[in-house]
Amino acid sequence: MLRALLILTITAFPALAGEYAVLASGRRIHADRHELLGEVVRLYDKSGVTELPASAVESFEVEDYVPPPEPPPATTKPEAAPKPPEPKIQDPKALIRAAAQRSDGPPAFGTLMQSVAKVESGFNPKAVSPKGAIGVMQLMPDTAKRLGADPTDLEQNIDAGAKLLRELLQKYDGDVVKALAAYNAGEAAVDRFQGVPPYSETQHYVNNVVRDYIRNGGQ
C-alpha cells in the first residue's frame, strides 16, 4: 500500500534531473540546465523557462551530487605518548543504521533515513545550507536545540534527525510523504495545506527522497 502511495506521489510531480540554483535568499530552484545571458540567468525545465537576475543566484548545485570524503588529517604519534582513546565512529551510513535501530522506527526506517540524508547533505557532515541547516541530517539550530542535540556532533546530529523523522511519521500516521514534506517545509505548512505544500523546493525534495527510497528497497 505504501509503495503504491509513493509511486503515485512521484507521478504527481515532474520527473527530475539536473541541478539546483541556490538563490541569495536561501531558496533552491530545480532546473534541467541553465544559461547565463548577460545579467540574466535562464533556468530550463520540462515546464518551460524561468528568468532570474544573475545577481539573485549565488551558486549551482548538481543534483544527487555526493562529495568525496575528506582525507583524515595527518597525525604524528609522539614518543612515549599514551595510547589514544578509541575513535568514535565517523561513518555517516553506519551511524544512520545504528540510529535507526535504536529509534524503534517502522520497517525500512533505516532505508528512509539513508535516503533523507543523501538528498539533504550527500552524507557530508560539514554541509551547511544557505538557510543554516547543519550536517548530514541538515538540522536547523533551533530544531537541534529542541531535540537536545549539538548539530555539529555527527552522532548527535544523526540521532536527532532520526528522532525528528520518527516523530513526524507518528504524527502523520505513517504517511511517508507528509512526514518528508514536514521535514523539509515544517509541520505548519503541511498542516495548512493538508499535504505536500505547493512549494517547488519541497515537491522536488519529496520526489527525490521517495525515488531513492524505492530504488533502495523501501516499501
Catalytic residue among 79, 120, 155, 167: 120
Nearest-angstrom CA–CA distance, 127 and 186: 20
Nearest-angstrom CA–CA distance, 16 and 10: 10
The answer to whether 162 and 184 are in contact (CB under 8 A) is: no
Phi/psi at 217 (nearest 5 deg)? 95, 5
Contacts 24+ apart (CB under 8 A), 89-97: 89/155, 90/125, 90/154, 92/117, 92/123, 92/125, 92/136, 92/154, 92/158, 93/123, 95/154, 95/155, 95/158, 96/136, 96/158, 96/162
Nearest-angstrom CA–CA distance, 199 and 196: 8
The answer to whether 95 and 160 are in contact (CB under 8 A) is: no
Residue carrying C-alpha cell 512549494: 199
* Residue 120 annotated as catalytic: yes
Which DSSP letter does residue 28 get?
A: E
The catalytic residues are: 120
